[in-house]
Amino acid sequence: MTPVYENDENKLKILKMGFENQVQYLRMMSDVDLRLFTGYITVQLILGSWLAQHPLQMIAYKLGILIIDWALVALAINAFRVNQVRRAEAVHVLKNLCDALGFTKEGVFLPDSKKIQSSVPLRPWNWLYNLTAILAGIGVTIIILAF
């Protein structure tokens, strides 16, 4: 089986450019996830530390901070979900590009019917971000309700 671009330099350049763009996009998405995660955890740690040193006396203040904190949890989880959807789309495009370049076809580049690209399923790990966001929200809630 021959790659899609065989005997066409322009198609090869377009496929290569698309591949490089999607790889860069995935790197950027990882950076965005890391910045979002560290920013969220920093805010939760600062809020929890401040509340431990300055307990709220009025129930209205406690309720207000709880609402704001759980709104932050919801925003963080939604941002992680959206980024995971975008990441899955980019991986799908990369898999298509690998097919077009012949990386997933046996015997195109390597002898003995080997493929360059193995067919590995997407392994999302955003559930860890979501779990951490929820646990941080629970931690702040415990601090608010304990004092």
Q: Where are the domains of the chain?
A: 9-146
| pLDDT confidence of residue 125 | 78
Distance (Å, whole) CA 146 – CA 108:
65
Range from 70-74, 111-115, 135-139 carrying the lowest mean pLDDT: 111-115
Cα dist from 122 to 28, 88, 92, 119, 141, whole Å: 17, 7, 9, 10, 34
> What is the rounded average pLDDT for all residues in the chain?
85
Q: Which amino acid is at 140?
A: V
For the entire predicted model, the pTM comes to 0.76
Checking if the pLDDT of 115 tops 70, the result is no
Cα dist from 98 to 33, 66, 111, 131, whole Å: 25, 47, 18, 33
Model confidence band, residue 40 (pLDDT cutoffs 50, 70, 90): very high
